[in-house]
């Protein structure tokens, strides 16, 4: 018996990617996760306090990184999505 038209076999569909954040989400940097990361050892040790207090807005998401804009006159930054949490 032929399969009905329009029915999709789940075994052939691509796996769903579970995203942590979406464009426009308000976030802040988790101090503990960031301080224990490889990125923190390669960066300046004196980070501004506003990134830990938040909120920053997610502008773009590429792979595991989010571009975040802070509500201050500073440049946007790319931060690993593992290091940020919802505000």
Strand order in the sheet with 65-70: 77-80, 65-70, 56-62, 26-29, 84-86
Let me know if residue 4 belongs to a domain: no
Let me know if residue 78 belongs to a domain: yes
Let me know if residue 66 belongs to a domain: yes
Query: Of 2-6, 8-12, 15-19, 61-65, which has the strongest mean pLDDT?
Result: 61-65
Let me know if residue 54 belongs to a domain: yes
Burial degree of 56 (CB within 10 A; 0-12, 13-18, 19+): buried
14 three-state secondary structure: coil
| pLDDT score of 75 | 95
Let me know if residue 70 belongs to a domain: yes
Q: In terms of residue numbers, what domain contains 62? A: 26-86
pLDDT band for position 6 (cuts 50, 70, 90): low
Task: Find out whether 55 and 71 touch, Cβ atoms under 8 Å.
Answer: yes
What is the domain count for the chain? 1
Tens-place pLDDT, residues 8-58: 555 666 665 566 899 999 999 999 999 989 888 898 888 899 999 989 999
Q: Please determine, for residue 1, whether its predicted confidence score (pLDDT) is greater than 60.
A: no
Let me know if residue 81 belongs to a domain: yes
Let me know if residue 18 belongs to a domain: no
């Amino acid at each position: 018996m032929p399969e009905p038209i329009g029915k999709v076999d789940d075994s052939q569909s691509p796996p769903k990617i579970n995203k942590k954040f979406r464009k426009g989400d308000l976030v802040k940097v988790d101090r503990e996760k960031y301080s224990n990361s490889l990125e923190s050892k390669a960066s300046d040790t004196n980070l501004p306090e506003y990134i830990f207090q938040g909120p920053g807005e997610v502008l773009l998401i590429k792979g595991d990184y989010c571009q975040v804009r802070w509500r201050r006159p500073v440049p946007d930054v790319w931060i690993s999505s593992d290091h940020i949490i919802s505000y």
